[in-house]
Structure 1
Amino acid sequence: MNNENREEKKEKKQVGLTTKILFGLLFGAITGFVLNYAVPDSYFKNTIVINGILQLIGQGFIRLMQMLVVPLVLCSLVCGSMAIGDTKKLGNVGAKALGFYICTTALAVTVALTTANVINPGIGLDMSKIHKSSTVATESATQSTNIVDTFLNIIPSNIFNSLSEGTMLQVILFALILGVILAKMGDRVETVKNFFSQFNDIMMEMTMIVMKVAPIGVFCLIAKTFSQLGIEAFQPLLKYMIAVLIALGIQCFIVYQALLKVFTGLNPLLFIKKFFPVMEFAFSTATSNATIPMSIDTLAKKMGVSKKISSFTIPLGATINMDGTSIMQGVAVVFAAQAFNIHLDLTDYLMVIGTATLASIGTAGIPSVGLVTLTMVFNTVNLPVEAIGLIMGIDRILDMTRTAVNITGDAVCTTIVAKQNDALDRDIFYQGEQKEAS
């Protein structure tokens, strides 16, 4: 009994990955400040420590993340689009839910890009002077491409070249088409479907293994940045957090509630009041999947939504509706572009909206995958992925808020679809709240 109690105490004392990454961020910043302000310039400091050890480990971690991008995105999107293909069995409900999720994700990225361009989180953080790769990225990003070529470049002429070169929009298109075809062919291609499902599981496991070294990678990336930039790096990071939170708030309390009012006529404030306990649960657990039963039950008992609708649209939303993650990616794009002094034009922003929207279909329900797909979004518009190391520790703090936004979007979509299919009982929604509703 004593041994069992000791083992239980040890398990409770184990520090989670989120905490470890935050510690890596904190100690990296402290180490960087010490190197910048307390340690005099020398060969050992500049060459061996900053541009040697910290550069090697930090960039090694970034390369590990880059290594995951193509196979993970390919398998995730094939599996995601296979699931979407199955929604045809539910006809009108599936089509409406899918269309709503894709549209709100595109709106979410638009809100994020607009908010970030107002707040300008990356201005004041000149990363270009400490990363030579940003010069190449700047040249690539500023090359002009007409709109016809932009759309033609989405279609792969050779998918194997697209995979080897990491041309992500082409990989995304191929994966979506392949997944829908596999879903349509059903049992005839069961072996191929199992291959992608199992390989997707393998990539998820590999992602978790790579993320185990994330605290060390973040420590080295942050320490190197702060050792060369000093205190000036703090304000942009704070502005990044504020921009993400504001964009999440706009999406959750303005965009979603406006759509709810327009398509159902229900009282948005009453909806938030009734659904708020589910939002709190999602915030505390930081996982959409764990909230599925509570969401379905709340929608049925407090909103009057038929479980025939919610039992399909809520799990589907937990799989493909990642508006919160898309908002983080949109703000991160602006942050990185400004930090590296890279100009992005309208075409680049449209590519970001399209890529982040499509990527959300295959984003799995683990926090680290959002950062991997962020690497993909950066590659689409030729942004240096070094900026991910800066925001990684802070982003984990925002993850809980993103989850609450995601499940709220699922609930709004479900309520709208239920209303349009005569599966919403307004009397239950307004039960005991007639005065407030009026």
Structure 2
Amino acid sequence: MSLTRQILIAMTAAIVLGGLTQQILLIPGLNSVLHYVLNDLLTQGVFLLGGKLFVASLKLLVVPLVFVSLVCGVCHLRDQSSLGWLSLKTIVLYLATTGLAISLALLLASWWQPGAGVHMALDGSYQPPKPTPLIDVLAGIFPSNPIQAMAQGNMLQVIVFALLIGVAVGRSGDHGARIGAHFSDWNEVLMKLVTLLMNFAPYGVFCLLFTLFAQQGIGKVGDLAIYMLTVVAALLLHGLLVYPLLLKLLSGLSPVPFLLKMRNAQLFAFSTASSTATVPVTLRTVEQRLGVQNRVAAFAVPLGATINMDGTAIMQGVATVFIAQAFQLDLSMTDYLLVVLTAMLASIGTAGVPGVGLVTLALVLQQVGLPLEGIALIIGVDRILDMIRTAVNITGDAMVSVVVARSEGALNDDTYFNLRAGEQE
């Protein structure tokens, strides 16, 4: 049985059994022994621990894999002056896709009006976390202590440090060649570790989703059904229509192999709801399955996990319109443009961890004068939507990697079109 099928079976079983467990735990007068087994022993015990260990194992690889891969890719560049052009193309594409994502979200939300039937009054009870000012985000890109940046998982700072080391290694002659060979060896070892970890994916996915649905269930879905449908529709359109169209237009490649090969990475992203935790799997997929050379993949994938938050931007666009409609407030065309700009800039400082989109949503709402209390309306269903938008985020990372690699002559067409290339059974 293929890994994709194993993960799909684990996801389905976890959602069904987790939802059933949640309903059983709500039964009045439930036997105390049964409650202990289902809640304390399984939901809050074995499966919670299994899910945490799985995510921790993925995050364990993120910093060393990103650092080693990026140093490896940069130091082996024949023409290091091309690095600036490669970086510029990658960043521009990421910002462009984010702008398209939130524009699509605003159009759908304005058309479907998910908040039209919700009537809310202001009470000032919700106090969201304070968002980081944009100037601090930009200033924080450059590390003053690279070891601290690695310990804290500050990916932008790790990327900058790796770029500097890679450039230095590439310009150090024989000394750099010896160091570069060591980095290449470490890169192979770490990619093998990712492959080994993927064998445990079905069990980790089951633990994560069982715990989520056993604790939350699906009861809140009905209350915000139109809002959820609007977000999901925008996410699916962006992931299954916009990305393939951009891939075809910008690279001339058929999007079919791309979509087929992204399934495993998307399932990982869905189960973890974290772009950062999925970086090892995304990087392996982009390099070994899609045929992108390391020098492009090692830069574009971790950078995308940090600044490319198309799924989060879609949620913010729909949520902004939803909250405005729920509080019977009108948005002008200037407000819509401000939402697009703010969400694009906010995505740069959005960490790839679960639920962080709600923090940057506060920044977007503040810019257009909407009540922050509205965030409380969507908190209940945000975790489920977070899983879907994370899958969209990493799909965008891979698409941009392929497009940039194609333009740089760093894409192996034979690997890209071979549906079995890099496949893990």
Alignment TM-score, normalising by the size of structure 1:
0.59
Contact 1:296 1:311 in 2 (8 A): yes
Contact 1:124 1:236 in 2 (8 A): no
**Is 1:115 the counterpart of 2:108 in the alignment?**
yes
Structure 1 residues 192, 240: CA separation in 2 closer, same or farther (over 3 Å shift)?
same
Structure 1 residues 16, 241: CA separation in 2 closer, same or farther (over 3 Å shift)?
farther
**Is 1:131 the counterpart of 2:131 in the alignment?**
no
Contact 1:122 1:236 in 2 (8 A): no
Structure 1 residues 340, 271: CA separation in 2 closer, same or farther (over 3 Å shift)?
same
**Is 1:401 the counterpart of 2:402 in the alignment?**
no
**Is 1:341 the counterpart of 2:302 in the alignment?**
no
**Is 1:330 the counterpart of 2:317 in the alignment?**
yes
Partner of 2:412: 425
Q: Note the residue ranges of structure 2 that are not aligned, 5 or more in a row.
A: 1-39, 53-69, 75-79, 156-215, 421-425
Structure 1 residues 176, 111: CA separation in 2 closer, same or farther (over 3 Å shift)?
same
Contact 2:257 2:419 in 1 (8 A): no
Contact 2:221 2:381 in 1 (8 A): no
Pick the aligned partner of 1:312 from 299, 302, 308. Answer: 299
Pick the aligned partner of 2:281 from 281, 289, 294. Answer: 294
Contact 1:121 1:236 in 2 (8 A): no
**Is 1:99 the counterpart of 2:60 in the alignment?**
no
Flag as ranges the 4+ runs of structure 1 deviating above 4 A.
7-10, 13-18, 86-89, 191-195, 197-201, 233-236
C-alpha separation in 2, matches of 1:273 and 1:14? 31
Contact 2:221 2:228 in 1 (8 A): no
Structure 1 position 300, deviation (Å): 2.4
Partner of 1:254: 241
Partner of 2:231: 244
Pick the aligned partner of 2:250 from 254, 263, 282. Answer: 263
Query: How far does the alpha carbon of each residue in 1:178-214 deviate from its partner, in whole angstroms, 9 at most, with x for none?
Result: 346xx3xx7xxx379979x97999xxxxxxxxxxxxx
Partner of 1:140: none
Partner of 1:374: 361
Query: How far does the alpha carbon of each residue in 1:389-428 deviate from its partner, in whole angstroms, 9 at most, with x for none?
Result: 1100111111110110000000000000000100012122
Contact 2:310 2:392 in 1 (8 A): yes
Contact 1:305 1:418 in 2 (8 A): yes
Partner of 1:175: 136
Structure 1 residues 282, 380: CA separation in 2 closer, same or farther (over 3 Å shift)?
same
Partner of 1:353: 340
C-alpha separation in 2, matches of 1:390 and 1:427? 49
Contact 1:125 1:236 in 2 (8 A): no
Pick the aligned partner of 2:262 from 267, 272, 275. Answer: 275
Structure 1 residues 376, 89: CA separation in 2 closer, same or farther (over 3 Å shift)?
farther
**Is 1:12 the counterpart of 2:46 in the alignment?**
yes
Contact 2:137 2:349 in 1 (8 A): no
AA aligned to 2:117 is: G
Contact 2:251 2:406 in 1 (8 A): yes
AA aligned to 1:112 is: A
Structure 1 residues 384, 306: CA separation in 2 closer, same or farther (over 3 Å shift)?
same
Structure 1 position 369, deviation (Å): 2.1
Contact 2:266 2:394 in 1 (8 A): yes
C-alpha separation in 2, matches of 1:131 and 1:381? 16
C-alpha separation in 1, matches of 2:96 and 2:81? 18
Greater share of helix: 1
Pick the aligned partner of 2:374 from 378, 387, 390. Answer: 387
Structure 1 position 367, deviation (Å): 2.0
AA aligned to 1:239 is: I
Structure 1 residues 194, 274: CA separation in 2 closer, same or farther (over 3 Å shift)?
closer
Tell me the SS of whatever aligns to 1:290. Answer: coil
Q: How many residues align?
A: 289
Structure 1 position 284, deviation (Å): 1.9
Structure 1 residues 198, 12: CA separation in 2 closer, same or farther (over 3 Å shift)?
closer
Structure 1 residues 199, 299: CA separation in 2 closer, same or farther (over 3 Å shift)?
closer
Structure 1 residues 338, 259: CA separation in 2 closer, same or farther (over 3 Å shift)?
same
Q: Note the residue ranges of structure 1 that are not aligned, 5 or more in a row.
A: 1-6, 19-82, 135-165, 202-218, 220-232, 434-438
Query: How far does the alpha carbon of each residue in 1:51-81 deviate from its partner, in whole angstroms, 9 at most, with x for none?
Result: xxxxxxxxxxxxxxxxxxxxxxxxxxxxxxx
Contact 2:313 2:344 in 1 (8 A): yes
Structure 1 residues 280, 249: CA separation in 2 closer, same or farther (over 3 Å shift)?
same
Alignment TM-score, normalising by the size of structure 2:
0.60
